[in-house]
């Protein structure tokens, strides 16, 4: 699956995703209480600490996504695209399963996850 057109498109989606994850990471690290409120959670020091931990993990993911997109061999890029297709879809599903009433932010966040999953599917299917 090292079709040149497909790999080029996967690289584009990976770069775009790394930017979105990077911005989410900053929000989680800097203002976890706002992110919690947007999700509909009652914030607490424990939950804010947990969100900051997730933010740090997203920094690593964003950096790795950008690195693979920029420097990865075609086979590595294709593999990352398949992993991210499943992961983005799972993020959308998990967001909809949030243990609080759905609101505009959680629905938007899930749509972003499903949108990235679809973008990876489109990029992978490109021939």
Q: Where are the domains of the chain?
A: 4-125
pTM: 0.91
What pLDDT score does 110 carry? 97
Up-side HSE of residue 14: CA atoms within 13 Å toward CB? Answer: 28
What pLDDT score does 2 carry? 54
Say whether 5 sits in a helix, a strand or coil. helix
Q: Identify the segments of the chain with pLDDT beneath 50.
A: 1
Nearest-5° Cα angle at 44, 42 to 47: 95
Q: How many CB atoms lie within 10 A of CB 19?
A: 13
Judge residue 60's burial from the number of C-beta atoms within 10 Å of its C-beta, 0-12 exposed, 13-18 middle, 19 or more buried.
exposed
What pLDDT score does 83 carry? 97
Distance, CA of 10 to CA of 96 (rounded, Å): 26
Q: How many CB atoms lie within 10 A of CB 116?
A: 23
Distance, CA of 64 to CA of 72 (rounded, Å): 10
Closest CA to 103 of 41, 31, 40: 40
Per the structure block, which two tokens stand in for 37?
């409120």
What pLDDT score does 124 carry? 96
């Amino acid at each position: 699956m090292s079709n040149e057109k497909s790999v080029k498109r996967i690289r584009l989606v990976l770069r775009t995703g790394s930017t979105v994850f990077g911005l989410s990471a900053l929000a989680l690290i800097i203002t976890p209480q706002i992110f919690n409120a947007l999700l509909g959670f009652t914030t607490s020091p424990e939950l804010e600490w947990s969100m900051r931990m997730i933010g740090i993990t997203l920094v690593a993911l964003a950096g790795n996504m950008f690195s693979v997109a920029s420097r990865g061999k075609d086979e590595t890029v294709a593999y990352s695209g398949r992993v991210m297709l499943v992961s983005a879809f799972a993020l959308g599903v998990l967001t909809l399963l949030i243990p609080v009433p759905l609101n505009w932010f959680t629905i938007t966040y899930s749509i972003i996850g499903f949108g990235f999953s679809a973008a990876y599917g489109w990029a992978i299917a490109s021939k």
